Amino acid sequence: MLKNFSNVTQRLRRLSSQELDVSGTFQSFLIDLLDEGKLTLDVTRVSVWLFDDLDKPSELINVANTDWQGDELPMQLPALKYENFPAYFSAINSGQSINANDAAADPRTSEFQECYLTPNHIVTMLDTVIFKNGIPHGVVCCEGNNGVRTWHKDEIAFAEMIADCCSRRLLVKELWQLQQQLTDMAFKDPLTGLSNRRFLMDNAKREISRHARFDHPFSMMMLDIDQFKNINDNHGHETGDLVLKSFAEICVNTLRLEDCMCRLGGEEFIVLLPNTPVNSAMVIAERLRREIELAVISTPSGEIAITSSFGVAEVNTNLPFGHSLKAVDHAVYQAKAAGRNCVILAQ
């Protein structure tokens, strides 16, 4: 029986209400709850196991464990297969807590005796179900090695609260992942994986403000793949898409980490070059032009070589971004008129 049940539940409620970063591993944002359970229930370990599939589960995967140090995870997460532990899976799917006072004798957990209980000296288990939309999603497993134990109703209730707290955090993580997906859909080009025009315009405003405030140099370049229409006409749009993806990879691998490359549309791309004077931007553009010229892109239609025309401009931080965008676009037009596959500085 838990002493001061009200106090420990209040502590758990406060703990579960804390703001956490759910972008990392399950271990990183569940371990505080598991540590609290281990301390309060005085057990050997506490772990979280989640079903691989909510509709037709075939495995339980161990995603967090008080035995693991910090955020370090095993090379391969432990897993339990339904076919090996049918009674245990059935008990979890019933939604009822498994208060196995004597784990080796309890029919719900006796399947673990030879493979786990005896080798690890585990005598008693208290497993409480994690729900998602009212359906069992996994389990919080509390294990003890201090002899047979009769689990008191307050201990079971506390363990169920831990499972509910885990459930809420898992929901927050799922919502965060959905938000990330929506953000990617809004600001990323689905073909190349680069940021899109919408992101470019928003990011350019922020960068202009930052560079103006600190009086740092800010440059940009525009790239246009030469004769790209001929690739689509001669080899088909699927090959054209493959060329665009390969082109984006070449550029990203050549540019600096701090540079921001976006797909403006079609075969046109923009690169923002933060803290970069325009003479350095010309050097970067020329290096990238050579990398593109030397590259050979393998496609189902054969190997394709491409070139690109460049415009480079210093971003005027005293004017709207559209002004600099128009200047660099005109420089690309001049590069095309000059025979393509060259770099022109905007005047």
Catalytic residue numbers? 267
Whether 144 and 44 have beta carbons less than 8 Å apart is answered as yes
Q: Nearest CA to 203 among 192, 218, 223, 225? A: 218
What's the CA gap between 344 and 334, in Å, rounded? 7
What are the tokens at 307?
């070139």
Handedness of CA 142, 147, 148, 149 (dihedral sign): negative
Beta strands 45-51; 218-225: pairing state: unpaired
Beta bridge partners, 345, equal: 312
Residue 3, helix vs strand vs coil? coil
Beta bridge partners, 308, equal: 225
Q: Provide the angle, in degrees to the nearest 10, between the axes of the packed helices 5-16 and 26-41.
A: 170
C-alpha pair distances (Å), 143 with each of 103, 149, 307: 9, 11, 64
